Amino acid sequence: MNALGNTGFQDMSIDHVTLYVEDLDAKAAELARTYGLEVYATAVAEDGARSAAVGRERIRLVLTEAVADDHPAAVYTRLHGEGVADIALKVPDAAAAFAEAVRRGAQPAAEPAEQDGVTTASVMAFGDVRHTFVQRHEGVPGDRLPGYVPAQGHEPGAPTGLLEIDHFAVCLEPGELQPVVEFYERVLGFRNTFTEKIVVGSQAMDSEVVQNPSGMVTLTLIEPDTRREPGQIDFFIKNHGGAGVQHIAFRTEDIVRSVGTIRTQGVDFLTTPATYYRMLGDRLRLVRHSTDRLAALNILADEDHAGQLFQIFTRSVHPRRTLFFEVIERAGATTFGSGNIKALYEAVEAEQQG
């Protein structure tokens, strides 16, 4: 594609993720208690919202609650409920990244602005989700956010071993997959790293993975196949009110420890039929963990050409049953566990047949 020049697209990484929420205090407390995150900064914006930054290791989530009916967070939550509004990207030069993205066809959302030694600028991505370019000037702490002050009186949750955001899963409306892939390739210099059609019984979906050159920003883009029966992607689009982030995957180096801790702290995970684990040995030879330990926690296992992965999904507590989280451990694998979709379907079929 186009030369990346000095925009810093090739070196970008995830800076933080902004979620618009309806009850800031409750959501911040929940993430601290269950996922071991810490409220480290807060802000009261002049435009009618209050925010808190929570995080641990390389995970940073910004929670924003509207206190004015015309604030974007209020508009967003009325349409979608709580969800991801901005995937912010750290770059060496936010103004240059913004100018180049707009030159390549991105829709501008917020012009470059500097505050507290941090320059930001935003473009639209998919649905109502933005990408904000973030540049911190020399001497500015790596977690500084413009307009935020250090939080007081918040106890961090117990560590859970979650390290960073591995990827985002994005549900797109029919016909949007190729235009969104093309946007990431043409505008942000991403590359398409994996393409797959997933067929499960009478349902099907098309998936393409886009990733920036450094490998630090990865999105799995999914579109339903409307020639088949409606499935989970159709469900998300209907209940979310359009395209959006279905789940955020957090990476860990020990999924058994992380999931055990998070579950003890109150998170409910999806369960897996016992037949899945009885059939697991026919699919692969585990390089980490034992089948019994995986089964005890309902953790899934899969492998690709590069290695294995272990993953589990939380049960959505969203009122619309849309946004949820994933915990993933990679033992070399570079894909996203699509083999588990087929394996789970076959396990359920076997269980139903006795």
For all residues of the chain together, what is the average pLDDT? Answer: 92
Residue 35 pLDDT greater than 70, yes or no = yes
Of 5-14, 38-47, 250-259, 330-339, the one with minimum mean pLDDT is 5-14
Dihedral in degrees, nearest 10, Cα atoms 29, 30, 32, 33: 110
pLDDT of residue 328: 97
With a pLDDT cut of 70, the percent of the chain lying above it is: 95
Q: What is the average pLDDT across 123-142? A: 97
d(CA 279, CA 343): 8
- Walk me through the domains of the chain, giving residue ranges and CATH numbers: 9-150 (3.10.180.10), 162-352 (3.10.180.10)
With beta carbons less than 8 A apart as the criterion, state whether 41 and 53 touch: yes
Q: Alpha-carbon distance 150 to 172, whole Å?
A: 37
The neighbouring-strand residues paired with 43 are 51
Residue 345 predicted with pLDDT over 60: no
Alpha-carbon gap, residue 324 to 301, rounded angstroms = 19
CA 272 from chain center: how many Å?
Answer: 22
User: Is 131 annotated as a binding-site member?
Assistant: no
The DSSP H or E segment spanning 140 is none
pLDDT band, residue 340 (cuts 50/70/90):
confident
- The amino acid sitting at 238 is K
- Among residues 226, 218, 223, the alpha carbon closest in space to that of 168 is found at 218
Please give the average per-residue pLDDT across 167-171, as a whole number. 96
Give the tens place of pLDDT for each residue, 285-322: 999 999 999 999 999 999 999 999 999 999 989 999 99
Average pLDDT for 269-280: 92
| Chain CA centroid to CA 156, Å | 22
318 marked as part of a ligand binding site: no
Percent of the chain as helix, strand, coil, to the nearest 5: 25, 40, 35
| Model pLDDT, residue 2 | 42
Higher-confidence residue of 57 and 5: namely 57
The two counts, helices (H) then strands (E), for the chain are: 9, 17
How far apart (Å, rounded) are the C-alpha atoms in residues 293 and 286? 12
202: confidence class by pLDDT, cuts 50, 70, 90: confident
pLDDT at site 339: 82
- The predicted structure's pLDDT at residue 346: 64
Candidate from 154-163, 221-230, 335-344 with smallest mean pLDDT: 335-344
Q: How confident is the model at residue 70 (pLDDT cuts 50, 70, 90)?
A: very high
Q: What is the pTM of this model?
A: 0.94
| 289 labelled binding-site residue | no
